A and B are shown apart, each in its own frame.
Chain A
């Protein structure tokens, strides 16, 4: 009788303890609930690091959702600033929010960005029966009558998915940005569902979110927001070649605490580079619609600073921040 209860308690405690502290194995914090991009970054990179022998013990993943990543950021800055066994998943969303001052005043230089090893190209997508055949038609239709098109995207208003069409519209000289209709739904697949259902006219998101729907023919991609066409998706034109110079990719990478030694920084950079070079990662990239985008080590921090500056300016232009 009692034993069964004890057993269940023991199992619970075991599970929880196993979850919280696992000896001295390294930890990867995914600053969101399981299932999203950051979670994918932690789990995939962590798994590959262990599989290829870059680390001895499996990297354990902790999900610390809150404040769009701000909670984990604050946790690392204030409580774990010298933890050498800690990596945190980051992406363009991290940089966007830092730029928009959405992490309660914390700045990009309070952690060390190790690198990015893959990027999810931004895309603009319409349903298969849509009247819009290319990006120009869509943008001009909005210019003529902003209320005729609603975008659906997986991020909240002001988020990265919202910024993509706004950047494109800036290029055609449409400045009345607040007139652009955008709804933020729960993830890219949901945004596609709304677009295929005809409730919204276009979807703004990442390549990985649309792969299955492209194959099934439910949607057409009007443009991909990269410098060059993405391998494997060669029939999708870039926005650039259609005359709209916008590049927006959602990179997947890591940051570590500020207070660690340069040796630790280099160690993680090296490990990350090993993952980037591995066949496993290449396979995972293809399966998840990621394009090659490797910036590891010292120069990545510079890239982050540049991106933060750009997004801050853009956010001011479109009125997301003061």
Chain B
């Protein structure tokens, strides 16, 4: 009952014609920001913060606008993943795996509607989770130390090999390339730079967005130039856009499971939305098994990562609000916004400033409903993008990514780096090496190394420390039993297929 009262308080603050209008505007801008490669949710929110000051918005209105942009960008990331095979932001990476093949089959409309619904389910469940459990879940962060984080990243890393269904060795090579790239930059545990060649631009390591835009968008342009646009989904004949009720129905359990996985990943500070969508996708893939057809354009492969990353976005708000620890780049920006509004998140926020917390939760729910209502009808508009001639569309998107990246760092070095990544992406795809594990290698590598080195500092180099808690042992068992063992035992369990020409 108390929760309902609190929620009523929240809605009484967050629901007015003016804030509703802000929510609609925020959702729209957020969707576009998310869809444009090179402008992720965190930049989107950061760019818009000055606007809230210029407009002279009060704390609640500013929060409504920013959370709408945040959730909008999480929804929007999927659009370019599905239509162009270019992830709009890093959490939307996994959506390319099945979304783009679906678009190529002419089912772009279905993929977009389905992913929109999955996003809604993920975000909605996560907001409910936040509302019911936030104060309890905050304690979860206290249970994760370096050893536990290392085991978690290891679990994620072990699944990378299973990512490409045809050639696991190539997926492994790709993730090692990513790991190597992750080593560039200032080493947190000695304070010394590695592989930077004295270049200040490389001190903070490689930005994921630069790698993503390079490996996907620019490599796509190279392929387009080479193949004169033949292998692209652009210009694919489209089926009529209808609501794919059947596909929504068959993916209902996938959405629920993926939301749960994503939410848990989001709660852990330092894991974040990308890990959420990744773990959601990989766990659904292993549940579906070989016959699931993941990677070829199946509805479950679209629903899982989208439900996962949106749930993680909601989950990431738990440590942000209750501990002041941002679980992702975007929540770090939201945290900054709260602090500029003289609200300090932390363990006492829920009791000190209930109007802020419940106003925020109410505005999340509002944003979510607005996004669902806006995104499903807008699918028709999005799909039309594919009818824009490719020679306009691809350079256009790439140009916008350049501008986006430049606005992020204000230096041309990142642009050169992006082109270099484009060349790398082109070469890798020519060699049939998947590029998604490269990004995940970069994403996981840094955190995994940091966690391991911290654990070693604490334990004076005693390796047994890595197995010192039941959580880490559980994660190790899951990693070994679920993903490493099958690779080696496959020959024993099932007779390998004979290679025949």
Contacts and interface: CB of A to CB of B under 8 A. Distances in A.
- Are A and B co-members of a single complex? yes
A320 B190 CA distance: 9
B388 A211 contact: no
A159 interface: yes
Nearest to B196: A67
Contacts of A212: 324, 344-349
Given A12-B404, A33-B329, A63-B408, A44 B340 contact: yes
B143 A197 contact: yes
Interface string A135-172: 00000000000010010000011110010000000000
Interface stretch (A81-89, A246-254, A283-291, A293-301): A283-291
A204 to B, nearest CB: 14
A1 B381 CA distance: 7
B498 to A, nearest CB: 50
B454 A12 contact: no
B400 A47 contact: no
**B contact face: mostly helix, strand, loop, or mixed:** helix
Given A71-B411, A104-B198, 5 more contacts: A66-B200, A104-B200, A197-B143, A199-B458, A215-B346
A66 B201 contact: yes
Interface stretch (B14-22, B34-42, B112-120): B34-42
Contacts of B344: 211-212, 287-289
30 contacts: A1-B384, A4-B384, A11-B32, A12-B36, A20-B406, A20-B410, A33-B329, A35-B326, A43-B49, A43-B340, A58-B50, A58-B53, A63-B46, A64-B410, A68-B186, A157-B189, A158-B190, A186-B269, A186-B270, A189-B323, A189-B326, A198-B142, A212-B344, A215-B346, A215-B348, A216-B347, A218-B347, A283-B342, A287-B339, A320-B191
B379 to A, nearest CB: 12
A157 B346 contact: no
Contact of A157 (B47, B49, B190, B332): B190
B105 interface: no
Contacts of B346: 189, 211-213, 215-216
B2 interface: no
A309 interface: no
Interface in A25-76: 33-36, 39-40, 43-44, 47, 50, 58, 60-68, 70-71, 74-75
A318 B74 CA distance: 46
A67 B201 contact: yes
A60 B50 CA distance: 7
A35 B335 contact: yes
Interface in B130-169: 141-146
Q: Which 10 A-B pairs have the closest CB atoms?
A: A212-B346, A199-B145, A35-B332, A216-B347, A158-B191, A67-B203, A67-B200, A197-B142, A1-B384, A34-B46
Interface string A191-207: 01110111110000000
Given A150-B458, A189-B323, A197-B144, A216 B348 contact: yes
Nearest to B191: A158
Contacts of B396: 5, 9
Contacts of A158: 190-191
B388 A16 contact: no
Contacts of A150: 457-458
A260 to B, nearest CB: 20
A13 interface: yes
A307 interface: no
B204 interface: yes
B188 interface: yes
Interface in B238-274: 269-270
Interface residues of A, number: 77
Given A12-B39, A44-B340, A63-B408, A156 B188 contact: yes
Given A43-B336, A193-B269, A197-B145, A187 B325 contact: yes
B33 interface: yes
A181 interface: yes
B409 interface: yes
A182 interface: yes
Given A8-B35, A211-B344, A212-B348, A193 B29 contact: no
B435 to A, nearest CB: 24
Interface of A: 1-2, 4-5, 8-9, 11-13, 15-16, 18-20, 33-36, 39-40, 43-44, 47, 50, 58, 60-68, 70-71, 74-75, 103-104, 147, 150, 156-159, 162, 181-187, 189-190, 192-194, 196-200, 209, 211-213, 215-216, 218, 283-284, 287-289, 320
Given A193-B323, A213-B346, A287-B344, A34 B336 contact: yes
A275 to B, nearest CB: 14
**A contact face: mostly helix, strand, loop, or mixed:** helix
B387 interface: yes
A66 B206 CA distance: 10
B373 interface: no
Contacts of A199: 145-146, 458
Select the residue from A19, A64, A103, A198 with max chain B CB neighbours within 10 A. A19
Contacts of B191: 156-159, 162, 184, 320
A182 B32 contact: no
Contacts of A209: 324
A114 B200 CA distance: 24
Select the residue from B186, B191, B198 with max chain A CB neighbours within 10 A. B191
B200 A74 contact: yes
A79 B143 CA distance: 47
Contact of B454 (A5, A19, A183): A183
Given A11-B29, A197-B145, A184 B348 contact: no
Contacts of B45: 34
A215 B198 CA distance: 44
Interface string B157-196: 0000000000000000000000000000011111100000
B494 interface: no
B324 A47 contact: no
Interface string B293-319: 000000000000000000000000001
B480 interface: no
A287 B22 CA distance: 27
Contacts of B403: 12-13, 16
Contacts of A185: 454
Contacts of A62: 410
A189 B142 CA distance: 12
Nearest to A194: B145
Interface string B83-116: 0000000000000000000000000000000000
